[in-house]
């Protein structure tokens, strides 16, 4: 503690206690001083009058045995030993009181160790609580079986005191006091002195709870740790019949095997200390550690682990020698059995290092992971996960955890830094291997595959379907359905479908035969394969969700639609729900080819059949079926999502071919009416105005987006396209070309983008239908002869006479060419959905 001597003067009032009354002795400025006299140092407190600095109100020597009390944040009270008078200093500011208190603590630690400083706090109920700030250190006696109670009494009160903890720790470490512990413990245990063993247990517990890193390092030494842990086995709060057996565990695991010799002896000691401290924290002291001590212990452990990892990284040969054990092109001196044990331990060693750095900062983890990959991590993983290797199941689990951890951190490291084909292959073998009955390991392998195949959300915006109809429905994580990443990710996914997907989804492809659908609705299966089928069905839904049309060819070539139709009728609920999720992802993808396959394979029919068979029971399967049908009808049930468009392709099948109306006689659900209504709405919206014998049949007003396109086109064309065209040419084109028709909407798979020519034909057609009301110069009879027109004088002439006018023909040709050039520009604007009326396109004469 750095204290300025003499201390800064602080304004105080001095009081003496006389006849039980506090008497004001005056106001002045108090300082703390150290006076050197006859090669000795003495501390004293001096108060000088605020009006006359030569007037000394108080001069008190800090002598042995004085007990100072800090009260109410601004008072310091003590008893002068010479006059036996109580003295009180009342500070104007709490900061001044705290500064003098720090001075007294400094004096206690350096000049006069026998004084003590107490802090007296008044509670709400009127009682007082006293805590020791600093005090004389009572040195514990040397340990013996007869005085362990005295040793405990010396150390116990110092536990919650910061200053005395430090002093006691320095005293114990300087005297090597803890070296006595092993002999005393062995003697007490040999004599079966339960009382002494209880005292030793409490002494060791207090030493751990002191929170001093130096004491912990001493307790973790090879010569002391076993005795300390053994003493903690005799906890007086635990019945002797339930005594823990920590030493047996330590004898089994503390003498760790070195797969590759560690670079230095100091690193070996650091590894042992880290293990023992973690064992003490998590096992031995887990019930009694408070938050402060546990936080200090976590910090010490973190520094130990950081030193270990840094030493392994900077060692030039350790990592390379470790991974060379798994290379077949290197001659190994060991016999096969020893080499096999070394390889098994090596996988576990890397897993331990991996778990150790999980709490490290991002940059430190990235440096370690890069070093592991660079030195041959994937060679070791190929051994740990390969079906042909002799690795045990625990080693396979450790290797799978490594793959999952690496993918969680950065999947790009696996795709670029390692042999991705080998990684996918070994994960597939692990998932499909019949000898592996570990369900947790299979789930771990499937999760690793998911992370490996999931495209990053920040890359390319979407994967458009064949007709530009792909949706961008956001999932809960913010990624877009059907997203695919950069070129590397694109090639990685293509490689997966070309080389690995058929093997991975092989159990599902077995159900792709159409003959599998014949027979009873309830289908049973070998329960040993159900786990794999469930995982693979979920994985297929994942691929449809994230890869979109990239998996369309694979989906069609291998008949997976038939597999889904088969799996949806399984008795096992988990498999049935996974199959329904596949249909849901296909509906959200809205790819006409995949939807057509689901219709052809009767997967949609199976979905409705399952819903009917459940008879409307309130369960998860019924809810899943209803949700998919609502999605098909375009009635989204997702919260915080944009509305979905109806799948016209499936609606037509359900209503026209399947006859979903007949289902209403078996089960009454609102979703059935929603499907039927959606089909009718889609049919009406897909119809267009038609023209037969000059009569226009108005079916339905076009959707708002089409009307907006038409209005914008008309506004832009009227504003700028006719500027350089004669009025006569404009009228003639309105007569000759004004009866065009709009293109029909293509249902759910149309792009809904209208070109300028289609928009103008629709607009001119509407003008012809309305008879051009309000425009007396351009009246025409839509029911009359289409070969006739009207000139400016109102005289009727034939189409042949109009064609004979060269000037009119030339003007008309110019008008059409100008319209085509401008139309190309506006068509681009429509496709970008930028309908701006303030910009006018000026036609250019060819």
Q: What is the pLDDT of residue 768?
A: 37
Distance CA 815, CA 726 (A): 8
Q: What is the pLDDT of residue 274?
A: 92
Q: Other C-beta atoms within 10 Å of 488: how many?
A: 12
Distance CA 829, CA 826 (A): 5
Identify which of 136, 167, 10 has the alpha carbon closest to the alpha carbon of residue 76: 10
Q: Is the pTM of this model over 0.95?
A: no
Q: What is the DSSP letter of 837?
A: S
Beta carbons within 8 Å of 413's beta carbon, 6+ residues apart: 369, 370, 373, 406
Q: Which residues pair with 45 in a beta bridge?
A: 32, 60
By the 10 Å C-beta count (0-12 exposed, 13-18 middle, 19+ buried), 604 is classed as buried
Torsion over CA: 81, 85, 90, 94 (sign)? positive
By the 10 Å C-beta count (0-12 exposed, 13-18 middle, 19+ buried), 131 is classed as exposed
Q: What would the DSSP string read from start to end of 695-752?
A: EEE---PPPHHHHHHHHHHHHHIIIIITTTS-HHHHHHHHHHHTT--PPPP-GGG---
The encoded tokens of residue 238 equal 């635990």
Q: Which residues pair with 790 in a beta bridge?
A: 796
Long-range contacts of 245-251 (CB under 8 A, 24+ apart): 246/283, 246/284, 250/225, 250/226, 250/276, 250/279
Q: What is the pLDDT of residue 731?
A: 43
Distance CA 186, CA 178 (A): 14
Residue 826 backbone dihedrals phi, psi, to 5 degrees: -70, -30
Look up tokens 């005393």; give the residue: 184
Residue 802 backbone dihedrals phi, psi, to 5 degrees: -70, -35
Q: How far is CA 774 from CA 740, 767, 779, 783, in A?
A: 21, 11, 9, 19
Distance CA 382, CA 389 (A): 9
Alpha helices per DSSP H over 568-723:
573-589, 592-600, 603-613, 620-632, 648-652, 670-686, 704-716
Long-range contacts of 195-201 (CB under 8 A, 24+ apart): 196/145, 196/148, 197/231, 197/234, 198/234, 198/236, 199/148, 199/149, 199/151, 199/152, 200/148, 200/231, 200/234, 201/231, 201/232, 201/233, 201/234, 201/235, 201/236
Collapse the DSSP code of 607 into the 3-class scheme (helix H, G, I; strand E, B; otherwise coil) and give the result. Answer: helix
Per 3-state DSSP, the chain is made up of helix, strand and coil in percentages (nearest 5) of 55, 10, 30
List domains and CATH numbers for the chain: 10-134 (2.30.29.30), 148-312 (no CATH), 316-453 (1.25.10), 461-686 (1.25.10), 704-745+753-772+805-846 (no CATH)
Identify which of 663, 590, 671 has the alpha carbon closest to the alpha carbon of residue 623: 671
Distance CA 533, CA 560 (A): 13
Distance CA 540, CA 421 (A): 19
Identify which of 295, 305, 296 has the alpha carbon closest to the alpha carbon of residue 270: 305
Residue 421 backbone dihedrals phi, psi, to 5 degrees: -60, -40
Q: What is the pLDDT of residue 575?
A: 92
Distance CA 768, CA 747 (A): 27
The alpha carbon of residue 592 and the mean position of all alpha carbons in its chain are separated, in whole angstroms, by 34
Mean pLDDT by 10 residues, the chain (846 residues): 78 94 94 85 92 92 92 92 91 94 90 89 84 82 91 74 72 92 95 93 92 92 93 90 87 77 88 92 90 91 92 86 84 78 90 89 87 85 70 82 81 62 76 73 85 67 38 35 55 84 90 56 57 91 86 88 90 91 90 89 91 87 91 66 69 88 86 88 66 42 40 38 38 41 34 35 38 37 37 38 38 36 36 38 39
Q: How far is CA 284 from CA 160, 229, 486, 555, 662, in A?
A: 21, 8, 51, 56, 69
């Amino acid at each position: 503690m750095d204290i300025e001597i003499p201390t800064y003067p602080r304004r105080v009032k001095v009081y003496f206690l006389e006849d039980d009354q506090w008497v004001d002795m005056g106001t002045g400025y108090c300082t703390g001083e150290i006076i050197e006299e006859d090669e000795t140092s003495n501390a004293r407190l001096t108060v000088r009058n605020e009006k006359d600095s030569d007037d000394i109100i108080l001069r008190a020597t800090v002598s042995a045995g004085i007990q100072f009390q800090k009260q109410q944040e601004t008072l310091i009270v003590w008893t002068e030993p010479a006059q036996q008078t109580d003295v009180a200093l009342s500070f104007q500011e709490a900061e001044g009181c705290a500064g003098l208190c720090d001075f007294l603590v400094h004096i206690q630690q350096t000049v006069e160790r026998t004084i003590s400083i107490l802090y007296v706090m008044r509670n709400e109920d009127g009682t007082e609580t006293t805590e020791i700030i600093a005090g004389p250190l009572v040195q514990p006696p040397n340990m013996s079986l007869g005085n362990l109670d005295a040793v405990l009494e010396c150390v116990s009160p110092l536990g919650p005191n910061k200053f005395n903890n430090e002093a006691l720790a320095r005293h114990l470490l300087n005297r090597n006091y803890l070296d006595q512990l092993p002999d005393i413990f062995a003697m007490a245990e040999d004599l079966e002195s339960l009382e002494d063993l209880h005292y030793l247990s409490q002494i060791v517990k207090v030493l751990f709870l002191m929170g001093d890193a130096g004491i912990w390092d001493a307790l973790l030494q090879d010569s002391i740790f076993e005795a300390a842990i053994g003493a903690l086995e005799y906890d007086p709060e635990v019945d002797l019949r339930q005594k823990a057996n920590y030493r047996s565990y330590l004898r089994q695991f503390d003498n760790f095997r070195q797969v590759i010799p560690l670079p230095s002896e100091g690193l070996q000691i650091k590894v042992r200390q880290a293990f023992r401290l973690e064992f003490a924290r998590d096992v031995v002291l887990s019930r009694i550690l408070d938050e402060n001590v546990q936080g200090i212990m976590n910090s010490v452990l973190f520094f130990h682990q950081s030193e270990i990892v840094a030493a392994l990284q900077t060692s030039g040969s350790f990592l390379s020698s470790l991974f060379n054990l798994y290379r077949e092109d290197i001659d190994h001196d060991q016999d096969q059995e020893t080499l096999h044990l070394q390889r098994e331990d090596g996988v576990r060693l890397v897993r331990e290092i991996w778990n150790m750095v999980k709490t490290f900062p991002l940059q430190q983890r990235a440096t370690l992971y890069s070093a592991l990959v660079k030195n041959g991590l994937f060679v070791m993983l190929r051994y740990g996960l390969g079906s042909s290797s002799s690795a045990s199941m625990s080693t396979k689990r450790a290797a799978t955890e490594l793959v999952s951890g690496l993918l969680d951190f950065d999947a790009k490291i696996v795709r670029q830094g390692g042999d991705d084909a080998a990684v996918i292959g070994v994960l597939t073998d692990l998932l499909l291997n019949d000898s592996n009955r570990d369900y947790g390991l299979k789930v771990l392998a499937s999760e690793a595959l998911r992370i490996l195949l999931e495209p990053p959300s920040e890359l390319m915006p979407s994967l458009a379907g064949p007709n530009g109809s792909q949706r961008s429905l956001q999932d809960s994580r913010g990624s877009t359905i059907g997203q695919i990443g950069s070129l590397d990710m694109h090639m990685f996914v293509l490689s997966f479908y070309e080389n690995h997907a058929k093997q991975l989804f092989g159990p599902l492809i077995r159900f792709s035969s159409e003959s599998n659908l014949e027979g009873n609705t309830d289908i049973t299966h070998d329960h040993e394969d159900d786990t794999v089928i469930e995982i693979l069905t979920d994985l297929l839904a994942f691929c449809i969700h994230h890869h979109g049309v990239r998996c369309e060819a694979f989906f069609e070539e291998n008949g997976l639609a038939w597999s889904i139709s088969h799996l949806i009728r399984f008795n096992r609920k988990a498999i049935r729900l996974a199959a329904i999720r596949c249909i849901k992802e296909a509906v959200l993808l809205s790819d006409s080819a995949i939807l057509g396959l689901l219709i052809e394979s009767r997967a949609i029919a199976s979905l409705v059949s399952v819903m009917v068979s459940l008879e409307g029971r309130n369960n998860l399967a019924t809810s899943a079926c209803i949700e998919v049908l609502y999605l098909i009808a375009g009635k989204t049930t997702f919260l915080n999502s944009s509305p979905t468009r109806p799948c016209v392709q499936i609606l037509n099948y359900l209503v026209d071919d399947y006859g979903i109306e007949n289902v209403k006689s078996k089960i009454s659900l609102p979703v059935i009416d929603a499907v039927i209504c959606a089909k009718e709405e889609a049919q009406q919206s897909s119809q267009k105005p038609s023209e037969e014998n000059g009569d226009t049949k108005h079916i339905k007003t076009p959707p708002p987006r089409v009307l907006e396109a038409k209005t914008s086109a008309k506004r832009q064309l009227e504003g700028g396209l006719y500027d350089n065209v004669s009025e006569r040419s404009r009228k003639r084109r309105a007569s000759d070309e004004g009866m065009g028709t709009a293109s029909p909407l293509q249902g759910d798979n149309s792009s809904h983008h209208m070109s300028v020519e289609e928009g103008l034909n629709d607009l001119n057609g509407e003008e012809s239908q309305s008879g051009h009301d309000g425009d007396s110069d351009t009246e025409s009879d839509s029911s009359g002869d289409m070969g006739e027109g009207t000139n400016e004088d109102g005289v009727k002439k034939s189409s042949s006479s109009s064609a004979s006018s060269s000037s009119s023909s030339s003007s008309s040709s110019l008008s059409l060419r100008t319209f085509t050039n401008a139309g190309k520009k506006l068509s681009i604007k429509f496709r970008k959905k930028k309908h701006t009326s303030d910009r006018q396109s000026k036609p250019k004469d060819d």
